[in-house]
Amino acid sequence: MHDHSSAGQILAVLFDLDGVLTDTAEYHYLAWKRLADELGIPFTREDGDRLRGVSRRPALEIILGLSGRTGSEDEMQEWMTRKNAHYQELITRVTPADLLPGVATLLNGLRKRGIKIAVASASKNSPEVIRRLEIEDSIDQLVHGGMVERQKPFPDLFLRAARELGAEPAACIVVEDAAAGIEAAIAAGMVSVGLGPEERVGKADRVFADLEGVTADNLLGIA
C-alpha cells in the first residue's frame, strides 16, 4: 500500500468497462463458448473466468490450449473475427438496465465534484456498449484498445486517457476488476482501486467488492 498524496489532488477517474460499469464479461463468455462449441473444444465457466481482462488473441490461445489444438495464422484470424461477430450480436441486447448497481449514482457524484471521467477499455466494441448503456453524457472521454499499441498490463491505455483528460497520472484513480488492469494502473503511476475478490485484485491500493453503495467520497478516499 503506497501512500498517494492527499485525495484532494485527484482530478480524474478512469473506469474499465467490462465487469466494472457493466457485466459484458457474460457476453464475452457466451461468444467464446459458442466459438469453442463450433471448434469442438470443451469450455466451462471456470475456463471463461481465466479469460477475464485478457485480450482477444491470448484468450484464443488459452482456449486452443485446453484441447492442445493449434491453428495457422489465417485460422486464428478467422476464429477471432468469428468470436467478435458472436459478441457484437450479443451486445445488441445491452440496455441502460445493464449498468451495474451503484454506477449511475457514482458517476453523478463524481461529476458534481468536478472530477473528470474516462472509460478506458481494451474492447474496440466499447463505443457501441457505451451508446447502448446511454452514459455518453456522463463521461468526458472514451479510450479503447484500438487507440494504443500495447494493451494492459502495459500502462498505455491509461496514460492515453489521462492525456486526453489533461490530468497528470498521479492525479488519476483507475477502477479495474482484472489483475492485468491493476498492473497497468500501477505501471502508469496511478491510484488503483480493485473490484472483486482479493486474489484477483489484491495488488490494488484499495479493494471494494463492487461499486454498489460506493460514493464519490469513498472512491476519492475522503473519509
Q: Which residues are catalytic?
A: 16, 18
Q: How far apart are CA 45 and CA 26, in angstroms?
A: 10
In angstroms, the CA 126 to CA 142 distance is: 8
- Beta-strand runs (E) in 96-196: 116-121, 141-144, 172-176, 191-195
What are the grid coordinates assigned to 24, written together? Answer: 459484458
- DSSP secondary structure code for residue 115 in this structure: -
Cell of 2: 503506497
The alpha carbon of 58 is separated from its chain's Cα centroid by a whole number of angstroms, namely 16
3-state helix, strand, coil in the chain (%, to 5): 50, 15, 35
Residues 191 and 205 sit within 8 Å (Cβ to Cβ): yes
Residues with Cβ < 8 Å from 81, sequence gap 6 or more?
A: none
- Gyration radius from the chain CA atoms: 17
d(Cα 220, Cα 4) in Å, to the nearest integer?
A: 11
